[in-house]
Structure 1
Amino acid sequence: MSQIQVYNSLTRKKEVFTPRIEGFVGMYVCGPTVYNDVHLGNCRTFVNFDVIYRFLRYKGYKVRYVRNITDVGHLLDDGEDRIAKGARLDQLEPMEVVQKYTNGFHKMMHIFHTESPSIEPHATGHIIEQIQMVKDILDNDLAYEVNGSVYFDTQKFSEKHKGQYGQLSGRKLED
């Protein structure tokens, strides 16, 4: 396989892409939160990753492309779940909203001629794992609870991991 150069957000440099397992690439893309119709801005992400998916396969890599469907837990500023709000506004059950807008998303991806991912899990299918991850973060003293909500403690993470918080984004803790 010929070399592919990618931008490394951590080092801020172009580097030769080397997969963790030779010949295989695992690609995870955060999919849509299905509470409303997708728009062009949403589609841009998925079209871009479709190009990457196709290019990697063209270059000879076996690619497992995972794109999730967020069908619960995306809260608004007032604490209301976006899907619950969409259900209330559309006068539907929450899972009817999920199905309606997931179908609409897939139709739009078809219009843009994107290929389907290898796997498309729904967030609701992984709630047990998500709860366990939050428990692990709490057990490692990297989060705290307030009024039933869990917050990631950026200060403790930075202390425990020698100031690594913000390395990818380039932000400092005090920002």
Structure 2
Amino acid sequence: MIPPLRVFNTLSRQKEVFEPLNAPLVGMYVCGPTVYSDVHLGNVRTFLSFDVIYRYLKQQGYKVRYVRNITDVGHLTGDQDQGEDKIAKKARLEQLEPMEVVQRYTNGFHEVMQLFNILPPSIEPTATGHIVEQIALTQRLLAAGLAYEMGGLSVF
């Protein structure tokens, strides 16, 4: 018999047996790549790890909605949320349009995922495709007191 899946709950700071909120449905969100350069082995490790979890949950009979985003704008070069957008910088250096950079490296990411036999997600949204929703969510978090503004930026 396979032992139950145990996950670390950062809120309780304990390992707990995994129990879906609405079994047999499981939602799994994984932050995907920022597509401004080629994928390297360190990137692959993250997606391979979640591929194993995705396959395990499916094998256990769960219906998994796996969402992995593509960050195609807004990832800054500085660690303190300042600096130039990484995609805009790469576009300037390569003398391309930013969306050409996004397309090239998104295609490359998918090719590498196929080389490692990593299953595609159920849904793969882009950041630019959901700006309206991101603004609305930020406003709800601010209104609920779960975020605050600092220097003109929202902080979570």
Alignment partner, residue 87 of structure 2: 83
Alignment partner, residue 74 of structure 1: 75
- Gaps in structure 1 of 5+ consecutive residues: 154-175
Question: SS of the counterpart of 1:114?
Answer: coil
TM-score of the aligned structures, taking structure 1 as reference length:
0.80
| Consecutive aligned runs of 4 or more in structure 1 exceeding 3 Å deviation | 137-142
Question: SS of the counterpart of 1:6?
Answer: strand
Q: Are 1:83 and 1:94, in contact at CA under 8 Å, matched by a contact in 2? A: yes
Cα offset, 1:75, TM superposition: 1.1
- Take 1:140 and 1:24, find their aligned partners in 2: how far apart are those partners? 28
- Take 1:49 and 1:143, find their aligned partners in 2: how far apart are those partners? 31
Using the aligned pairs only, state the percent identity: 61
Alignment partner, residue 117 of structure 2: 113
TM-score of the aligned structures, taking structure 2 as reference length:
0.89
Q: Root-mean-square deviation (CA), in Å? A: 1.8
Cα offset, 1:64, TM superposition: 0.4
Q: Are 2:26 and 2:62, in contact at CA under 8 Å, matched by a contact in 1? A: yes
Alignment partner, residue 23 of structure 1: 24
Mean alpha-carbon deviation: is it higher for 4-13 or for 123-132?
4-13
Distance 1:140 1:13, change over 3 A: closer
Cα offset, 1:2, TM superposition: 7.0
Alignment partner, residue 99 of structure 2: 95
Count residues in correspondence.
151
Distance 1:2 1:23, change over 3 A: farther
Counterpart of 2:120, as a letter, is S
- Take 1:7 and 1:140, find their aligned partners in 2: how far apart are those partners? 27
- Take 1:11 and 1:136, find their aligned partners in 2: how far apart are those partners? 25
- Take 1:145 and 1:15, find their aligned partners in 2: how far apart are those partners? 35
Greater Rg, structure 1 or structure 2? 1
Alignment partner, residue 62 of structure 1: 63
* 2:149 paired with 1:144: yes
- Take 2:97 and 2:89, find their aligned partners in 1: how far apart are those partners? 10
- Take 1:13 and 1:133, find their aligned partners in 2: how far apart are those partners? 29
